Chains A and B, each alone.
Chain A
Amino acid sequence: MSRGTARHDGIAGRAAIRPDPRAFALPGLALLGWWAAGRAGIADPHLLPSPGAVIRRAWAEIASGALPDAFAASLARDLAGFAIGATAGLAIGALLGLSRGAARLLGPGFLAWRQVALFAWVPLLALWFGSGETGKIAFIAVAALAPAAVNTWQGMAALPPAYGELARALGFRRRDTIRLIALPGALPAIATGLHTALIYAWLATIGAELFFNIAPGLAGRMNEGRETFQMDLLLVYLVVLGGTGIALNALAARLERLARRRIAPA
């Protein structure tokens, strides 16, 4: 069977681009400059500790268990918020995509709601859900909800009307239409939505830890570093946050490609 044949569609093709080795030149130069500045005594080590100091601090954070604990706490929070937000987003998107009446009635309101900047929710959610764990997860869920909902909605609404006609000609019930036409037809869009939702959820996780009450977590630990003026600690966690974001994005891109290939296998 030849169902696994690779296919060149836009997103998968773009995600598969390999970076040119020269792309590493700029970050490498910056690193070199950072090291040289510390070496030459130009940079105040309190404001910009040397790369060596940051690496030593990172090692200490790992050895003490502070970094693994913070990492686990952030990831758990991220995934909990993502799961809630993405599920709600899928449900809302499916409702808007499947029912023209719902789209007409609720669609404009939903699109307007989306225009509220994400971080404007912080004070409101803090009052509603408290500034502790519940508030943080609610904030992450709100962040993940919008892209999941919008992409699911548009993916289903963009399906050719000919499929709707076919569903009627074959006597499909609503659930047959959802299972055999709407869901598989919208799956590429849904995968894109979940991918985006995962990125938004991670950004919101960092935001929640910085703007809500201090709690264990990567950005929570950064807050501690800021208050005690430990620049090396801040830099360690900055790198970890970036790296985690990149890893999550790569994982999501891979899953999205897989979903697309499953749906359109030729």
Chain B
Amino acid sequence: MTAITARPPAAEGARQAGIAVARLGKSFAIAGRTVEALRDVSLTVRPGEFVAIVGASGCGKSTLLRVILGLESADRGEVLVDGRPVRGPGLDRGIVFQDHRLLPWLTAEGNVMAALQSARMSRSARREAARAQLALVGLAGFADAYPAQLSGGMAQRVAIARALVARPRILLLDEPLGALDALTRLRLQDELRRLTRQEGMMAILVTHDVDEAVYLGDRVVVMHPSPGRVVATLPVTLGPARDRSAPGFIRLRDRVMQALQPDLLPAAAIL
């Protein structure tokens, strides 16, 4: 492979720990037309880091996440996790989809246990781990409930518990709160932050909610569509306790917004 010589310095440096996405390229054929979903996308995530990716729909951010998860392979470039190339999904990476994607015929506990199916654990150990994980997302009393008996926010909590129960080092979040009402979304943002901090895991959040990206991310990556590419990476220097109405927060939000839509004036200028 030519990737050995073509790999950018960023990927070289991440040989040890973390995620290194190196010059990914991917195209789809949709209705006879070729759509370039990703062009030359590079990204690194350091251990313990929370990276938020924002972009309009069709900018390839979900495709990027699916390639990192191993559900899809890239045409060019590669994804390295701790220096090893990703060949397919693995227990080191947990995913939360936008739709909770719980199996309707399994209880909350059964759904969480399903994520331990390929772990070398006894059934009772799996059950115990599932119950403990459900308690961690605030659903201690709902282990026996079926998805249809849960609210949207509760179902998404179960999905988060399912993604976390195998103790992955990396949590991949594909617009996980997009389908929830505003209040539930705010509450679950705090939960996500608490859970990822607690476990010291890496997280990649894909979202179209700029507020959410700035609130959760240690870094915000901005992508543009056709072709899907990274146009800006903004470090979030706000510290762990974030106040959505603090001037620093609003400034950063405006900068992200401007990177998303460069032809728009910043909100501060309109005011």
Contact = CB atoms under 8 A, between A and B. Distances in A.
Interface string A192-211: 00000000000000000000
B209 interface: no
A173 B115 CA distance: 12
B88 interface: yes
A266 B148 contact: yes
Contacts of A166: 97, 101, 103
A3 B148 CA distance: 10
Interface stretch (A53-61, A91-99, A150-158, A179-187): A179-187
A15 B88 CA distance: 46
A170 B117 CA distance: 8
B118 A171 contact: yes
B118 A266 contact: no
A265 interface: yes
Of B105, B106, B162, which is in contact with the most chain A CB atoms at under 10 Å from its CB? Answer: B105
A12 to B, nearest CB: 16
Contacts, number: 60
B235 interface: no
Contact of A171 (B105, B117, B148): B117
Of B69, B104, B106, which is in contact with the most chain A CB atoms at under 10 Å from its CB? Answer: B104
A66 to B, nearest CB: 47
Contacts of A266: 146-149
Contact of A170 (B99, B105, B115): B115
Given A1-B144, A163-B103, A169-B71, 10 more contacts: A168-B71, A169-B95, A170-B117, A170-B118, A173-B118, A176-B117, A176-B118, A263-B105, A266-B146, A266-B148
Interface string B87-112: 01111000101010101111000000
Nearest to B94: A169
Contact of A264 (B90, B95, B105, B114): B105
Given A3-B146, A162-B101, A165-B71, A180 B89 contact: no
A172 interface: yes
A64 interface: no
A180 B113 CA distance: 11
9 contacts: A163-B103, A168-B89, A169-B69, A169-B89, A172-B114, A176-B117, A180-B117, A185-B103, A266-B148
Interface residues of B, number: 24
A168 B88 CA distance: 8
A2 interface: yes
Interface string B65-98: 0000101000000000000000011110001010
Of A162, A169, A172, A263, which is in contact with the most chain B CB atoms at under 10 Å from its CB? Answer: A169
Specify the main secondary structure of chain B where it touches its partner.
loop
B119 to A, nearest CB: 9
Contacts of A1: 144
Interface string B144-161: 101111000000000000
Of B71, B97, B114, B144, which is in contact with the most chain A CB atoms at under 10 Å from its CB? Answer: B114
A169 B103 CA distance: 14
Interface string A239-265: 000000000000000000000000111
Interface in B36-55: none
B91 A171 contact: yes
Smallest CB-CB A-B distances: 4 pairs: A266-B148, A184-B105, A171-B118, A176-B117
A165 B88 CA distance: 12
Interface in B154-210: 162
A168 B86 CA distance: 14
Contacts of B105: 184-185, 187, 263-264
B99 A180 contact: no
Contact of B89 (A2, A163, A171): A171
A2 B114 CA distance: 22
A58 to B, nearest CB: 46
Nearest to A2: B149
A3 B89 CA distance: 33
A49 B99 CA distance: 67
